[in-house]
Structure formats: C-alpha cells, structure tokens
Amino acid sequence: MYPSGSLGKTTFSTSNTENLKPRCILCLVGLTAIVLLASQFVSPIKQLHYSHYYTNTDEPCIQSTVLNPINPLWKSIGEIIDTNAFKNKAVDWLAGAVRIPTESYDDFGPIGSDPRWETFKQFHEYLLKAFPLVHATLSLAKINTYGLLYEWTGTDTSLKPVLLTAHQDVVPVDPSTTSEWTFPPYSGHFDGTRIWGRGSSDDKSGLIGLLSAIETMLENGFVPERTFVLAFGCDEEATGQFGALQLSNAMRSIYGQNAFEFIVDEGGGFSERYGTVFATPGVAEKGSLDLRVDVASPGGHSSVPPSHTTIGILSRLLVELEKNPYPVEMSTQSVFYSTLQCYASYGKTIPSDLRDTIVESAHSKKALKRLGDMIFTDPANAALVGTTQAIDLIQGGVKANALPEQAYAVVNQRISTLSSVTEAISHSTNTLKPLADKFNLMFISFGETLSRSKDANASSPPAYGTLVLSDAFNTSLAPAPITPTSGANAGPYRLLAGTIRATYNAHRGLDSGADTNIIVAPGMPTGNTDTRYYWDLSDGQIFRYNHRNSGDSGGLASGVHTVDENLPIETLLEIIRFFTSLIMNANEARFL
C-alpha cells in the first residue's frame, strides 16, 4: 500500500510540499463489488498469469499481445476522438498552449528574481481554464512555484501508482530567425492539417495530449482504481534544476522511493524501417559530461608572441580530442543490439546479408564485429552505442593586441550505457596528458594534479601554464538503469508494448487483434529527459516514448529546436488515444 491521496484536493502551493493535505478516498462499495465481479471475466492476459505468458526468453524480439482496454469507455471515447468536433477542440487545446512562450534559458536566475519565469504563470492560468474537470477532480501542487504535480487518486490504495510526465518549457526562438518561420513562432496557427509554433511538438503535444485524454475520460465518467500522478517540469530544456529536480524531491517525500509501478516520459516514437512499422520506446538513457578544458599562460603584448598562445594550445588540445574519439564496438548488451534483433525478425525488406549477420552475431564474435562494421558506417547508429563528444563552446582573449591569458572550451560528451562517467574522464585525461607534457603545462584533471613528465626533475623549467579539466556545470550524469524488456520483471514493458499496438490499430481502424501492423522494439533516445531525476522513484521501470510517427512529417521537417516546428493534428489525436489506452490498461492490469 502507498500513501494515496497525499496531494489533497486541488491545491495551489507556491513552493514546497508542506501545505499538501491528505484527501479521504470515498468508499465506493458498489463499484468495488462490480470490479471484483468483472475481474473474474478478464482475459488471462490482464491477470497475474500474464507475467509468465512468454517463457521462451531465447527468442529474439518477443512481441506482447495487443492489449485493448476492457472498459467499454475505451471504444466510446475512441469514437469521440474520431469526430470533427473533438478534432476542433484538440486544435484549440494545443494552439492555445503554443501561444504562450514558456521559453527556458541556460542562464535562468532563481524563480522569483528572474522576470523571464513569468510566462509560466500565464501558462498555468491557461491550463486551469482549458481543462476545468482536470482541475476540479485531480489534486494539484505547485512545486517551486512552476513545477506542476497532479494526482488522480484511485479507489484502490493497494495498487502502486503510475507516473506520467512531460515538460512545459520550450527552446527559445532565435529572434534573427523569426522571418524564416512559415507562420509566426507563437501563433499556434492551424492550416487545416498542422498546428505550427514552438512547442507544438516538443513537448506541449505530450502535456496537452495527456491532459486532453484525462479531461475527456472525466467527461465520460471514468473513475480510476489505480492512482495516476502527473509531473510537469518547467526547465527540461535547461537541465531541469528548477523543475524536475524539485518535483523528484517532492515525490520522494510524498510517495517514497520505488513508489511508482512505472514511469513514462517523452522519447522515441514509431516509424517505418525495412518495410515494417517499428515503435521504439526508450528503455535506457546515455550518461553525460560537459567537459571543460581550461588553459592559462602568461599574457603580454602580441608584438612579442610566444610560439603558442593560450588559444593556440587550446586549439591543439581540441584537435587531439577529435582525433581520438571514443572507440565504439557492437555489443550484445547494448539496447541498440536488441533493436537490431527486432529488425532482423520482422523487417520485411531488410537486406539478407544484414539479417543473416544479425542472426549469426548472437553466437559468433566474428559476426558481431562484422555487424558493427556494417552498422557503424552511419554515425547515427554509432551514436546510439558508443560515447560521443562534441565541442560546443569556446572562449578566449579580450583584445586583438594582448596575449590571451585564459581560454576555455566545453566538450559535450554523451556516455554509452555500457560505460561510465569515470571512464569518460579517464579517456579525456589520457588523451590530453601527452600534450600537457609537450607544452610544459601543469595538468590538473578533476582535482587531481598530474606530473608534467615522467622524467621531470629539479632541473626542469617551471611550468609555462596550466591545463585544467573539470565538469563545466557540475551536472555530470551516469548512464540510466536499463528497463527490463523480458523475464519476470518485464510486466510494465509488455503493458506499454501491448498498448502501443492497440492504439496503432484503433486509430487506423485496423483489426483490433492484429499483431503484425506495428512491431515494438526496445529503443534508446540519444538525449536525456527529466527522468534523469526520477530513477529511484520506480524500480527501474522507466520508458521514454511519444506515440507519434517520427518518420512521417509529410515532407516537412518537424522543426524541433529549430525553425517551423509543427505537429499534424492527426498526431495529436493519436497521442490522446494513446494516453487513454495506457491509463485504462494500467488501471485494469493486476500483473504489474
């Protein structure tokens, strides 16, 4: 049992959780009796035996059965979603959200002192008006003023809750690019097919899609047995320190560690690959390290320059890092290898040599290496497996005729799920150590002072300068735990996979039981989400998934993080259907 109802009735606390009051759960005796009676007729897939439904763990890419919710409201709400009236309502919901520029910045000051936060207050007022039943029924606490924490309290406190998340903030629009947008970036313009504007895709579509689903379920009288918690951060695009971090602290205080059955956040979607539609919910996340490289050396007049200025030395160091990328090799333990197994099992047009190599690689090291050679010719594939590095920031010098005394760069590293922050630090240190010796620099790597040379002695000249490696923003992140996709602990993955397949079929009017229209494969997004702060809130059951066709933009770029961000209205409708299906399936499931 967990502390259900801990958020209290609709609450507007401006910062902390002290004002959160328990809400009494009504004893719905009649409803409970009906549920108990109905449970006797639930298909075996929905009962405890489901955790043993698939026992052949040697079979690659095991597929879950299509899970259509039993509740008849699922069908009736699906019919509502198909109407033009609901489509118009959905357009208004998302367009209204897009019109409020909830931009987040890397240099945000504290909430209350930086006026740029004020747009989030407007956004909250919009949500209150747009989703009246959500705010009349669910409990709400505002964490650190702008983080939103909702609780839809269920009637059965013995069931662990589910955490569904999204983020309110968007990447700022570069003012110099405004004229390049087809429609103004915060217009929320609907052209009959697409909604245009910053945040229409990332990630207001997820937030609005979830609230739209719940609002519609409430309109139709749905009462959950399982509790559902919604957490909406306010600075996901700027590391989440003010939003998700504070939300995680609040949830840990209210619910405790490992309190949630599973967590779903933004992430992978579905697209056609090798003639088959594959959905790839993220079951892992790479770690990250923003490596700062600082060089300092004596200044002076540029008319009498040394052989190498501070900027010149820094440039040589950065070239050395790029000349020595992290090695990448295919491993059967990587998430991407599981994805490839699914491609081999279900890809209708996958080249026969690739299919054969994937199959053979399961029991042959030579084939595994050959597979890596074939796959890693595409940098995008290599990025899914290995640690990457990108030089993104550089600064140095103050005057054209003055030698620069300081120069630094920041190298963003995304750490493989099979590696660690420690290994990333070691690789960078070992790569740059010879050059530190060559340029006679005192080398300090993450607080450890390293000798300039193995044969350094008292007669050696004093160090010309210093080289310091550090964590640029003190936000290094270890790779996330990998969510189970097979075995006794894979119940949440099977539920999600079955829900994806049911939603895909229903939205296209396909056979409700067909299990080959879309294949679900373990996936991994290349970036990080707010779930970086939620690891201990669930026992390793975290999914990063947006139910949308990531490969179908009608010939137009979706514009995420750039000009012309947009979202097809049909995609939003399918997102709403997905959340409806997911909530109902999780509510009915007893095998988790």
Q: pTM of this prediction?
A: 0.88
Say which CATH number the domain at 438 has: 3.30.70.360
- Which has the closest alpha carbon to 195: 93, 95, 82, 89? 95
- Return the pLDDT at 470: 98
Q: Classify residue 471 by burial, with Cβ atoms within 10 Å: 0-12, 13-18, 19+.
A: middle
- Quote the number of domains for the chain: 2
Tokens of 11: 């609450």
Burial pattern 326-359, b for ≥16 Cβ within 10 A else e, equals bebebbeebbbbbbbbbbbbbbeebeeebbebbb
At 22, the pLDDT band (50, 70, 90 cuts) reads very low
Whether 354 and 297 share a structural domain: yes
- 167 belongs to an annotated ligand binding site: yes
The mean of the pLDDT values for the chain is 89
Run of H or E residues at 379: helix 379-385
CA angle 55/360/523 to nearest 5° reads 60
In a domain, 35, yes or no: no
Whether 421 and 319 share a structural domain: yes
Alpha helices in 224-364 (DSSP H): 244-254, 310-323, 335-346, 352-361
Whether 292 and 342 share a structural domain: yes
- Residue 397 one-letter amino acid: G
In a domain, 196, yes or no: yes
Whether 295 and 397 share a structural domain: yes
pLDDT tens sequence across 185-230? 999 999 999 999 999 999 999 999 999 999 999 999 999 999 999 9
Run of H or E residues at 496: helix 491-507
- Active-site residue set: 169, 236
At 586, the pLDDT band (50, 70, 90 cuts) reads very high
Contact 229, 151 (CB under 8 A): yes
- 363 belongs to an annotated ligand binding site: no
- Return the pLDDT at 36: 40
E strands along 58-144, which residues?
Answer: 139-143
**Helices 569-588 & 73-81 angle (0-180, nearest 10):** 170
- Return the pLDDT at 3: 52
Whether 364 and 456 share a structural domain: yes
Residues 401-407, mean pLDDT to the nearest whole number: 96
The secondary structure of 413-472 as a DSSP string is: EEE-TTS-HHHHHHHHHHHHHHHHHHTTEEEEETTEEE-S-TT--TTSPPPSEEEEEEES
pLDDT tens sequence across 482-515? 999 999 999 999 999 999 999 999 999 999 888 8
In the predicted model, is pLDDT for residue 516 greater than 70? yes
Whether 445 and 362 share a structural domain: yes
Contact 278, 555 (CB under 8 A): no
d(CA 108, CA 116): 8
User: Which of 99-108, 292-301, 378-387, 444-453 is the least confident region?
Assistant: 444-453
pLDDT tens sequence across 121-168? 999 999 999 999 999 999 999 999 999 999 999 999 999 999 999 999
In a domain, 392, yes or no: yes
- Which has the closest alpha carbon to 171: 98, 245, 95? 98
Contact 161, 2 (CB under 8 A): yes
In the predicted model, is pLDDT for residue 38 greater than 80? no
d(CA 573, CA 448): 54
**φ, ψ (nearest 5 deg) of residue 272:** -85, 135
In the predicted model, is pLDDT for residue 576 greater than 90? yes
- Return the pLDDT at 458: 52
- Residue 10 one-letter amino acid: T
Q: Which of 471, 504, 539 is the last residue of a domain?
A: 471
In a domain, 8, yes or no: no
User: Which of 19-28, 299-308, 558-567 is the least confident region?
Assistant: 19-28
In a domain, 578, yes or no: yes
Whether 337 and 369 share a structural domain: yes
Q: H/E/C letters for each residue in 319-333?
A: HHHHHCCCCCCCCCC
d(CA 166, CA 268): 14
- Return the pLDDT at 310: 97
User: Which structural domain range is residue 304 located in?
Assistant: 287-471
At 460, the pLDDT band (50, 70, 90 cuts) reads low
**φ, ψ (nearest 5 deg) of residue 271:** -160, 165
Name the more confident of 101 and 1: 101
**φ, ψ (nearest 5 deg) of residue 6:** -70, -20
In a domain, 231, yes or no: yes
- Return the pLDDT at 459: 58
- Residue 589 one-letter amino acid: A
Run of H or E residues at 525: none
Contact 533, 250 (CB under 8 A): no
In the predicted model, is pLDDT for residue 33 greater than 50? no
In the predicted model, is pLDDT for residue 457 greater than 90? no
In a domain, 57, yes or no: yes
Whether 262 and 156 share a structural domain: yes
Residue bearing tokens 């160090």 = 463
Say which CATH number the domain at 140 has: 3.40.630.10
- Residue 34 one-letter amino acid: I
Whether 210 and 77 share a structural domain: yes
- Return the pLDDT at 338: 97
In the predicted model, is pLDDT for residue 31 greater than 90? no
Whether 148 and 250 share a structural domain: yes
Run of H or E residues at 407: strand 406-415
pLDDT tens sequence across 543-564? 999 999 987 544 344 788 899 9
- What lies within 8 Å, CB to CB, of 259 at 6+ separation is 2, 160, 161, 251, 537, 538
Whether 242 and 357 share a structural domain: no
Q: Which of 421, 437, 471 is the last residue of a domain?
A: 471
Q: Which of 420, 444, 471 is the last residue of a domain?
A: 471
| 441-445 and 465-471 beta bridge pairing | parallel
Q: Quote the DSSP letter at residue 30.
A: H
pLDDT tens sequence across 82-104? 999 999 999 999 999 999 999 99
At 412, the pLDDT band (50, 70, 90 cuts) reads very high
Whether 304 and 240 share a structural domain: no
- State the number of CA atoms in the 13 A half-sphere of 169 facing the CB: 26
- 235 belongs to an annotated ligand binding site: no
- Which has the closest alpha carbon to 547: 509, 587, 500? 500
Determine the length of the chain: 592
In a domain, 19, yes or no: no
- Return the pLDDT at 239: 87
